Amino acid sequence: MSDSMLPEEFADCEPFAAKWCIATEAARYAERLNSTMTEMQAFYDAMYPRVRDAMAHLDEFPLHELPEQELNLLHLVYSLIMVSLPVEVWQQPKVIDSGTAYFDRHLEPAP
């Protein structure tokens, strides 16, 4: 039995799994705010080239019946989306000129 959080084909992304396989959007956002740009850039650089492969792999499974490793991979893709604007555009974890504004989502997208 493997201790890997991700499918074998994504072993190169495993170093980021413990930090970025996060089940909820609120928790992913909190992790983004608590991460440095260096951490987010390293994650982005590792995961961005693999996102198409990840999506193709995930498409092999019914969305609401993902095995645990595939669900973790989906969460990793969601985290990549969460860090993409800070890395590509803002160069900081927070939304530019947002001050202390925030909103809470009451319904979580699934899975």
Contact 86, 34 (CB under 8 A): no
pLDDT in tens, 13-64: 999 999 999 999 889 988 998 999 999 999 999 999 999 999 999 999 998 8
At residue 103 the predicted structure's pLDDT band, cuts being 50, 70 and 90, is low
What does the chain come to in residues?
111
pLDDT in tens, 70-90: 999 999 999 999 898 888 787
One-character DSSP codes across 26-50: HHHHHHHHTS-HHHHHHHHHHHGGG
Specify the pLDDT at position 18: 95
